[in-house]
Structure 1
Amino acid sequence: MTSPTPSPSISGLTPDPVTAPAAFLEHLYAVAVQRAQPLQSLGQHLPAPPKGRTLVLGAGKAGASMAQALEALWPAEAPLSGLVVTRYHHIPPRPAGLPQRIEIVEAAHPVPDAAGLAAAQRMLQLTEGLSADDLVLCLISGGGSALLTLPAKGLTLAEKQRINRALLESGAHIGEMNCVRKHLSRIKGGRLAAACAPARVVTLTISDVPGDDPSVIASGPTVPDATSCAEALAILDRYRIEVPAEVRAALEAGTLETPKPDSPVFTGQSVHLIATPRQSLEAAAAVARAAGLPVHVLADDLEGESREVGKVHAALARSVVRHGTPFARPCLILSGGETTVTIRPQPAGSPRGRGGRAGEFCLGLAQALQGLDGVWALAADTDGIDGVEDNAGARVAPDTLARAEALGLRIDRFLDRNDAYGYFEALGDLVVTGPTNTNVNDFRALLIL
């Protein structure tokens, strides 16, 4: 049994892809994560201090590391204060000598809790009394939708939690989920920006969504929303998710509508992407090319059922191995994006499987590869947490199925109950890093030798 992958770190030497393929892929993952750290690029997007005060508001899995980067880069003599909410256990150690000027609190993800509700309420209170001389720096990253929760009128926190769980298990893609979240919130979908008016708002964001659309990242609390109440209602109906009658009536009447692109509250505001999935993939690709490997970046915005995306990657690998098309071997294939996992119903009393998108991708990939020689893979979420588990993802090798079968593990049964964690834990092939304090979504790498 192999040991879990340690926390992502970058050593001076790149492991040899031929003699140490698993270590090589882990190194590329660490490079991708490092590229997405806020301190790498936040400074180039900071405005000058304003005439008035500077208020910092933020939410997301990278919220704490973004706040610390801002504290390190903001002029020491310029006033700075505010509140940022991040996921539990996602506050990195504070660098020695760095004074704390921004309060950081923790809340639950992916299902919101009372701590996130309290943080959202406090943020709206902090916006009271802002003037045109003031600046609001909004630090937004993936996970902010759950962490910054303030239910719409007629909706309790318990009901919001139920709806959120149902969305997560429905197979809805991130755009659909966030359309609903925006219309069932008093702070998302541009409403935080509206609360900050007339102050200038500068949003600094780390993208974890396909297409890098700021209105989708964390449900766009500071940017215009082009979706509608009617669309949110259609999504709820499509996935058969019930809402209270009062909320349904408000959606039908359009009274829960969000601020639109032509709203004057967005005049003079700006949004800057400080880290994206593509940048992390390209950073990993550069390291692999320096090691002598041809690299092919498929896309940074792949969507779909995780297991099916795994099967598609397996088909591509088979074509490379057997026919030398569309790429010659050896090569490295990279992809990113945000896939989905639809939870399969289980018999009453049966234990629920454990795992997330990256692990389920690896299950689908391993099943379809059927032990194909010369193919290694790693899939992991760049935030270090695959779903709600303690692993970032998993890895696949040519002997994955053989080792599992020797232990009596049938991969189809693990797929049936969405139990990627149980399968790869038994093999010692979980990628366990702990929180990385950033988030540019899925990282997938196939090494074909």
Structure 2
Amino acid sequence: MKVITDPREFFTALFNAAVAAADPEKAIRQFLPAKPKGRTIVIGAGKGSAQMAAAFEKAWDGPIDGLVVTRYGYGCACERIEVIEAAHPVPDEAGLVASKRLFEKLEGLTSDDLVVALISGGGSALLPSPPEGMTLADEIAVNEALLASGAPISAMNTVRKHLSTIKGGRLALAAHPAKVVSLLVSDIPGDNPAFVASGPTVPDCATRQDALAIVNAYRLKLPEAAMRHLETDAANAPMPDDPRFAGNEVHVIASAARSLEAAAAEAEKRGIKAVILSDSMEGEAREVAGVHAAMAREIAMRGRPFEKPVLLLSGGETTVTIREKGGKGGRNSEFLLAFALGVEGVEGVHAFAADTDGIDGSENNAGAFADFTSAGRMRAAGEDPKAALMRNDAWTAFSAVSDLFVPGPTGTNVNDLRAILIL
């Protein structure tokens, strides 16, 4: 049986395999639509939209025109599709301009035309488009409140789409009567296409009453203008049975499930049994970490429910409730810090968590590495891991022991990869 002597190299190989499985160039070729009689317009938004646009250009041998918006630093060279960069996770003026220009691209289309929408995670923040009565500042305040709330991504996007003129299928309506084919790289637990980037081209059945219920459940403090809008019928989003959506197509071309399977295959190739727990885990990052840590302890100390060596894999999107402003990090770093505390002293337990887009939260790392010695090493370096967890400052704790994982932007985004190795 092969022995893993370098857990970091092992985890990095798993990450690379997961990202490769979500490569837009490979995936897009499988879902190319039929060529139209008229024009082909490409639109898109998300942290992987520029790479998706470049891949579409290579795969499509007819004339195209288009525009996609991605996060600052995530752009790439395209010949026929314009790429605009804007702010994420908090919207900015560049995103507002991009939203307006996307609508302009869809003006005057006919039933002979085709619109290809390239959508990936992150599109919600990249497409600010506040309704009448709200400003960009209001939308920014809404986004900040949602990010700090601990609400799951599905709940966040329900609120977002009712405070927007572009989300919730509205961008697709602007293309009518042209056919819209949406190609999605999903970062959503369960892969509901209407939740990816708040569904600019894909409607769902959530209502403004659902949005108000979420505001109340999570005690969100939204701007007065946003609350006024939610109280009016103007906030209602189009429903999936709207005849203007008839004939449109939606395809999830890459997802966490496929990437987890690729990571598992890489582990098996290296002689380590892999178990996929779930591709759609949600919940508070530190609480999800507690469950993973309990399983790791049980395996390491009692050999159940799996014998070691074994790799536990999970995907999905956890959330972080901000308890103290000023901390650095993201949900993967926070997950790992809580996990490290939960397995301290349990020999043979190693862990890794990272966002497949290459960025976790507010800094330049995708995640970090952790093991049964992490908490002790942090204390030796002058950082109290428990105090860091309380102030949502996991980045500082992992930076102190040089355990951050910094691969840079990957060009795709199928949510988080968590890997627990018990030797």
- TM-score normalised by the shorter chain: which range applies? over 0.9
| 8 Å Cα contact 2:13/2:266 also seen in 1 | no
1:112 aligns with 2:69: no
One-letter identity of the residue aligned with 2:361: G
C-alpha distance in 2, partners of 1:259/1:113? Answer: 26
User: What is the CA–CA distance in structure 1 between the aligned matches of 2:143 and 2:79, rounded to whole Å?
Assistant: 33
Is the contact made by 1:56 and 1:139 (CA closer than 8 Å) also made in structure 2? yes
Write the letter of the residue equivalent to 1:306.
Answer: A
2:73 matched to which residue of 1?
89
2:364 aligned residue (383, 390, 393): 390
- Residues 1:315 and 1:225: Cα distance change in structure 2 (over 3 Å): same
Task: Report what 1:66 is aligned to.
Answer: 52
Matched, 1:373 2:359: no
The question of 1:270 aligning with 2:256 is answered no
Whole-angstrom distance in 2 between the partners of 1:112 and 1:430: 26
Once residues 226 and 36 of structure 2 are traced to their aligned partners in structure 1, the CA distance between those partners, rounded to angstroms, is 40
In 2, Cα distance between the equivalents of 1:149 and 1:121? 9
Superposition deviation, residue 188 in structure 1: 0.4
Unaligned runs of 5+ in 2: none
Counterpart Cα distance in 1 of 2:395 and 2:183: 34
CA distance in 2, matches of 1:356, 1:90: 18
Among candidates 173, 176, 180, match of residue 197 of structure 1: 176
Instruction: Indicate whether 1:36 and 2:15 are aligned.
Output: no
- Cα distance in 1 for partners of 2:376, 2:231 equals 55
Which residue of structure 1 lines up, in the alignment, with residue 214 of structure 2?
Answer: 235
Query: 1:104 and 1:368, CA in 2 relative to 1: closer, same or farther beyond 3 A?
Result: same
C-alpha contact (below 8 Å) 1:132/1:200 kept by paired residues:
yes
* One-letter code aligned to 1:413: A
Counterpart residue number, 2:287: 308
The answer to whether the Cα contact below 8 Å between 2:141 and 2:222 also exists between their aligned partners in 1 is: no
Other-structure match for 1:447 = 421
**Partner amino acid for 1:84?**
V
Pick the aligned partner of 1:252 from 231, 242, 257: 231
Per-residue Cα deviation, 1:153-196 (whole angstroms, up to 9, x for no partner) = 11100011011101100111101110011000001000011111
Measured on the aligned residues, the alpha-carbon RMSD in Å equals: 1.2
SS in 2 for 1:403: helix
Please tell me whether the aligned partners of residues 354 and 418 of structure 1 are also in contact (alpha carbons under 8 angstroms).
yes
How far off its partner does 1:406 sit?
Answer: 1.7
1:241 offset after TM fit, Å? 2.8
**What percent of counterpart residues are identical?**
54
Are 1:428 and 2:402 an aligned pair? yes
What is the aligned partner in structure 2 of residue 7 from structure 1? none
Distance 1:218 1:237 in 2: 23
SS, match of residue 85 in structure 1: strand
Secondary structure at the counterpart of residue 172 of structure 1: coil
The structural deviation recorded for 1:80 is 0.3
Instruction: Tell me the equivalent position of 2:82.
Output: 103
Within-5 A mapping of 1:164-243: 164-243=143-222
Letter paired with 2:278: A
Structure 2 residue 130 is matched with structure 1 residue 151: yes
1:402 aligns with 2:380: no
Kept after mapping to 1: 8 A contact 2:357/2:366: yes
3-state SS, counterpart of residue 188 of structure 1? coil
Kept in 2: contact 1:202–1:271 (CA 8 A): yes
CA displacement at 1:26 relative to structure 2: 1.1
Look up the equivalent residue of 1:312 and give its one-letter code: V
Equivalent in the alignment of 2:269: 290
What is the alpha-carbon distance in structure 1 between the residues aligned to residue 203 and residue 327 of structure 2? 38
Q: CA deviation at 1:244?
A: 4.7
Give the drift of 1:240: 2.9
Of residues 47, 52, 66 in structure 1, which corresponds to 2:33?
Answer: 47
Cα deviation for residue 247 of structure 1 reads 4.2
1:88-138: CA deviations, max 9, x gaps? 00024x4xxxx6000000000011100000000011111110000000000
What TM-score comes out, normalization by structure 1 length?
A: 0.92
Q: Which structure 1 segments of 5+ residues have no match?
A: 1-15, 347-351
Number of residue equivalences: 422
Structure 2 residue corresponding to 1:357, chosen from 331, 346, 350: 331
Question: Which residue does the alignment assign to 2:321?
Answer: 342
* Cα distance between partner residues in 2 of 1:440 and 1:371: 33
